[in-house]
Structure 1
Amino acid sequence: MRFFSTMVASVLGSLIAIGLIIFICALIATAFIASSFSTVQAPVASESVLTLRLSGPIEEYGISDPTYELFDLPQPTSLAQISGALEKAATDDRIKAVWLKPQGVIAGWPTLAEIRQSLLEFRESGKPVIASTSGDMAMRESDYFLATAADSVYAAPGAFFEFNGLSLSVLFYKGLLEKLNIEPTVLRVGTFKGAVEPYTREDLSRENREQLVAILENWSQLLTSTTAEARSMSKEHVNNLIQAGTILTTEDALEADLLDGLLSEENVRTRLKKWVEIDGSLQTTSLSTYSSSSSSGSSSHSDAIGVMIASGTIMSGNSSGRNGLLGATTFERSMRSFRENDDVKAVVLRIDSPGGSATASEAMWQAVKETSTEKPVVVSMGDMAASGGYWLATAGDTILASPHTLTGSIGVFGMHLSLGRMMETKLGITYDHVSTSDFADMFSGMRPLRDAERALFERSLGQIYTKFLERVAESRDMTVDAVDAIGQGRIWTGEAALNEGLVDQLGDLDDAIEIAAEMAGLEKDEYRIRRLPRPRTYL
């Protein structure tokens, strides 16, 4: 009897395993087939409307995965893809309008501002832009900010509409660590270096609160001024709407004149059809379809501007875009490729990074500096170029930032967690050792640092901070003391960083490319753009 039950279990297990293998292979085959079809330029019908369905994260460079289209899922998008498509659509006779659908957009305010500017430039072609949302959650502030670039803004009736101000929140873990008997040793150089506060405090320090308030004021002013201009209101009136906090539904937003109407998606489609005077059915094309179909292929120009995307937390080793890691090894390899390519006349380094490893930041700094000795390097800051991201930026010849970029954070920190007491009191695990010196188990994580070890830790952080100050002082033609005065780990907006001398001018990626071309002696429209790394794919 046991033999038969064992045999049946074995057969069932084998069938399940085979079924899983077949299912996985089918998914891979589906993705491969979709990818094959996506390489063929899909036709874009005449009198089409370009639909920008923006939801979720917008990255510097996105994942290229055609299976999203097969299952009608929002395609991961990139800033370059959106701006490039809008630029082409403005002069494409097949495209009659843009239908913007922002809902749950996740992006920094610099990225949002660049997308909005691209929409306004599209409108200069004389073609209309309509924005609308559907579903229970119509718009948040970031969605509405993009929608204000449209000729008309609609939303579904009875939906939520969030227009009650911006906030930044921080979670603190000090109490949790105490309950778990985890003993942290947290060291920092810089009174504004707030990244360590969640492990040492239960609330914001005065310095951290001060810098976060300044950041929010910068972003809030952008939202307020943009809304006021788009809706023909005064800034004071818009601010009063926000402060009142009474706008929570689309009906409230319509009454406050933030919307032009309450329409279902089908009614928006009907109105859009009349607006662009289309006789037949309304033809729409998605961003991913249009981007692939409107690809111009190889440029006839041999000269190029290299655009290096440095996005993610800085670490040693290889980059992992899906995990948000910017690897020094990958970065150095790409930078060397630009440096050794004679067709690349200048490089634009696009940074969107909160920092990370000081060792990796310095290695990347060296790669950029070596390139700058052979050809111009212009730095363009995205949403963030802070700490190690700013360290990297100082290797460029010229630094540009959005007024709303987060940068600076010239400071360092280190953290050591002792788990020994937790393991003993919570799990009954004890620890003992033998060593050849008193410092051998310093980083074992099983005991707190002794005073002498703490002093060594502090000294190493001080050395890193001094190196950081020297890099900034050399780049910005300042004294080390002057850099230290505006350093101390403080985060600055791009606008404030310009006033403090940490950047050269305000501008976006297009501005940086134009400056790089001018420095390389290239005429406008006489060069191509070559980007590294290339867009990711799951295949």
Structure 2
Amino acid sequence: MKQFFKFVLATFVGIILSAIIIILVIMGMIAAASGDKSVQVDANSILHISIKYPIAERTANNPLANLSFLGLDGDKSIGLKDILANIKKAKTDDNIKGIFLDESYMLSGQATTEEIRNALIDFKKSGKFIVAYAEVYTKGFYYLASVADKVYINPRGIFEFDGFSSQITFLKGAMDKLGIEAQVIKVGTFKSAVEPLVLTKMSDANRLQVTSYLGSLYDHFLTGIGKSRGVNKDSLFNYANEMRIQQPEDALKYKLVDGLKYKDELIDELKHRLNVKAKDDINSVEISDYAKSDDDNDKEVSSNRIAVVYASGDIASGDGDDNSIGSETISKALRKVRLDKKVKAVVLRVNSPGGSSLASDVIWREVMLTHKVKPIIVSMGDYAASGGYYISCAADSIFAQPNTITGSIGIFAVLPNMQKLFNDKLGVTFDGVKTGQYADLGNTSRPLTLAERAILQNEINRGYDDFTKAVANGRHKTQAYINSIGQGRVWTGAQAIQNGLVDRLGNIDDAIASAAKKAKIKDYKLIAYPEQKSVLNKLSESVSVQMKTKILKSELGENYGVYEQIKNVTAMMRTPLARMEYDVVVK
């Protein structure tokens, strides 16, 4: 027995010592990674931009981003805020002579690409060069690269230029096989988020709206490229429609690229532009390493503040994180800036497809209260739809990009009926007692009764009435008019300008300038909310999430994507939602 306790004690001590060593190693890594991240930019350098990751609104507060530990890779991404700031800084940095746009995947939405593209257009006003190169030009990266002075492609490369498409995955057939019925309660002819659960193809209404906003996005895409490349928009449409560009030589023939080059030839051109000898290396700095821009506003000693509140991701009750909007977190941030006398105006940066209607209403209330005491301007990112629009509509004014996805004013709920799954597939039955007729309302082991469905429909109707009333009051329209452009219909920013859901086209800087003008201030300092979590909190969350993801991916393999989709569908079956149809993926 003594030997047993000695063994247990030795094991326990070993675990403690190992934990201490791991903690010390992590603290050392944090200390090393948390040092001055600025880099020395040599004279006669180029800024190298290669974006192969989804772009968040803000760079994560993660000093271990470029390190790997225990088999977990750091998040090496840089947020949109810092990308734009670094391009702006490079414009006036005498050490930066130009920008090299390298092959990028552009995994984020089109409005994010638009903001980066506009920053590059502004950069060109400095007279410095931009050169773009890729072995594979996706439509997203080519849209970005088309602003470059010179666009090159590998002679054996791939050039995608065949129009836009958007595809929806329908799950009804699979659910029928499983014996699961999706019981849908909704308001809105165009509120098609539930269609994958109840149909096997798009409804006529959904096809109409997708055709409309996809056409708007494509028109803006072609217009931008045509202006940058000096090619007629109708010609570009025909090139894509007739699939004329199949080889790199075709892209050159139709003036969409300036030359076919291998990487070594591209490097030679960059050396020539920089007057660097053939035997010498090019001085370059990565966009993620480039010293963060010191905003002119940050140099001001004025006590005036403009608060930028970032609301990014799905909307849910409780606390959120960098990738989700928690009603409690955003509400606290809005209350804090509303009560802070130094804060003269607020910019609410919204990048969300929506989520919980209740959580959206909680945030809307704080926006409305803020509007009563100081200017609050909304800047829309890739999405500000459904709940994302709900939390925006009470602002003084709304800015969006032409290719922002917005609108989708509608409410829905889904309650699964799994009676056939339990009874017929699994042989499981249920029985019980209740003290009230509706005590088990929401029971998934049986179908809804007509009376129960009427109760739920009344709740959804009330939510839609609240939603349209809030929009009508915020946009100074009649509720009948909002209902006519609502019904769950999705619009682009360009379309929303026409129907009154958006005030102006512009980026976050335009929204900040508008906020300052509205507050009648010229000198101010920008402050960002919510405050990002501490390094240790971020580390523990990152480790747990990555470990979980790695385990699931290793077990499920190629079926991991199906798991993600089922998880999202399950989430829809919990509470009334103000969420757009699905994440719009344009290919």
Q: What residue number does 1:115 align with?
A: 116
Alpha-carbon shift at residue 299 of structure 1 (Å) = 4.5
Quote the residue 1:283 is aligned against: 283
2:89 is the counterpart of 1:88: yes
CA–CA separation in structure 2 for the residues paired with 1:20 and 1:287: 38
3-state SS in 2 of match to 1:361 = helix
User: 1:93-242 counterparts in 2 under 5 A?
Assistant: 93-134=94-135, 138-242=136-240
Structure 1 window deviating more from structure 2 (222-231 vs 348-357): it is 222-231
Per the alignment, do residues 16 and 496 of structure 1 end up closer, same or farther by CA in structure 2, a change over 3 Å counting? farther
The structural deviation recorded for 1:337 is 2.0
Q: Which amino acid in the other structure matches residue 509 of structure 2?
A: D
Q: Cα–Cα, structure 1 residues 248 and 478, in superposed 2: closer, same or farther, change >3 Å? A: same
Deviation by residue 1:282-330 (Cα, 9 ceiling, x = unmatched): 1111112213486887643322211111111111100122xx3210000
Contact 2:422 2:428 (8 Å CA) reproduced: yes
Q: CA deviation at 1:41?
A: 2.7
1:20 positional shift = 9.2
Q: What one-letter code is carried by the residue in structure 2 that aligns with 1:316?
A: S
Deviations 1:145-185 (A, max 9, x none): 00011111122231222111111111111111111001221
Q: Partners of 2:90 and 2:234 in 1: how far apart?
A: 36
SS at match of 1:516: helix
Distance (whole Å) between structure 2 residues aligned to residue 126 and residue 257 of structure 1 = 23
Q: Structure 2 CA distance, aligned partners of 1:74 and 1:249?
A: 35
- Deviation of 1:206 after TM superposition, in Å, equals 1.0
- Contact 2:82-2:293 at 8 Å conserved across structures: no
- 412-421 or 263-272: which moved more? 263-272
User: Secondary structure of 1:309's partner?
Assistant: strand
Aligned-partner Cα distance in 2 for 1:74–1:231: 35
* Alpha-carbon distance in 1 for matches of 2:25, 2:414: 43
Q: 1:164 to 1:73 in 2, by over 3 A?
A: farther
Are the equivalent residues in 1 in contact too, given 2:222–2:237 (CA < 8 A)?
Answer: yes
Q: CA deviation at 1:21?
A: 6.4
Q: Give the whole-Å Cα distance in 2 for the aligned partners of 1:457 and 1:208.
A: 24
Question: Deviation of residue 535 (structure 1)?
Answer: 5.3
Describe the SS at the equivalent of 1:384: strand
Pair 1:307–1:295, CA change in 2 (3 A): closer
What aligned pairs does 1:65-80 form with structure 2 within 5 A after superposition? 65-70=62-67, 75-80=76-81
* Distance 1:49-1:19 versus aligned 2 partners, 3 A rule: farther
TM-score, reference length from structure 2:
0.83
Question: In the superposition, relative to structure 1, how do residues 317 and 449 fare at CA in structure 2: closer, same or farther (>3 Å)?
Answer: same
Query: Which residue number corresponds to residue 415 of structure 1?
Result: 414
- Quick one: distance in 2 between partners of 1:74 and 1:165? 32
> What CA distance in whole angstroms lies between the structure 1 residues aligned with 2:103 and 2:14?
42
Contact (CA 8 Å) 1:90, 1:125: kept in 2 or not?
yes
Q: Find out whether 1:512 has 2:511 as its counterpart.
A: yes
Distance 1:284 1:25 in 2: 36
Per-residue CA deviations over 1:167-226 (Å, capped at 9, x if unaligned) read: 111111111111100122111100000111111111111111111111111111122112
Post-superposition Cα deviations, 1:439-473, rounded to whole Å, max 9, x if no partner, equal: 11111211111110000000000111111111111
Residue 532 of structure 1 corresponds to 529
The runs of 5 or more residues in structure 2 that have no matched partner are 540-587
Written as runs of structure 1 = structure 2, the 5 A alignment for 1:338-349 is 338-349=337-348
What is the match of residue 33 of structure 2? 35
Q: Within 5 A, what are the aligned runs for 1:289-300?
A: 289-292=289-292, 299-300=300-301
Contact 1:306 1:530 (C-alpha < 8 Å) held by counterparts: yes
Tell me if structure 2 keeps the 8 A contact 1:54–1:74: no
Question: Cα offset for 1:251?
Answer: 3.9
Q: Is the 8 A contact 1:81 1:291 kept in 2?
A: no
SS at the partner of 2:430? coil
Structure 2 vs 1, CA of residues 19 and 248 (structure 1 numbering), >3 Å: closer, same or farther? Answer: farther
The equivalent position to 2:261 in structure 1, one of 260, 263, 271, is: 263
Alpha-carbon distance, 1:24 to partner: 6.3
Unaligned ranges ≥5, structure 1: 1-5
- CA gap of 1:452–1:520, structure 2 versus 1, over 3 A, is same
Q: Which moved more, 1:149-158 or 1:112-121?
A: 149-158
Change (3 A) 1:113 1:362: same
Q: Offset at 1:42?
A: 2.4
Query: Percent identical across equivalent pairs?
Result: 36
- Aligned residue pairs total 526
Deviates more, 1:82-91 or 1:67-76: 67-76
Quickly say closer, same or farther: Cα 1:34–1:148, change in 2 above 3 A.
farther
AA partner of residue 105 (structure 2): G
Higher mean alpha-carbon deviation, 55-64 vs 116-125, is at 55-64
Q: Secondary structure at the match of 2:266?
A: helix
Residue 3 of structure 1 is matched in structure 2 by none
Q: Which amino acid aligns with 1:281?
A: D
The one-letter code matched in structure 2 to 1:352 is N
SS at match of 2:92: coil
Matched-pair contact (CA < 8 Å) for 1:42–1:292: no
Distance 1:140 1:534, change over 3 A: farther
In the alignment, residue 411 of structure 1 is paired with which amino acid?
G
TM-score (norm 1): 0.90
Q: Distance in 2 between matches of 1:381 and 1:160?
A: 33
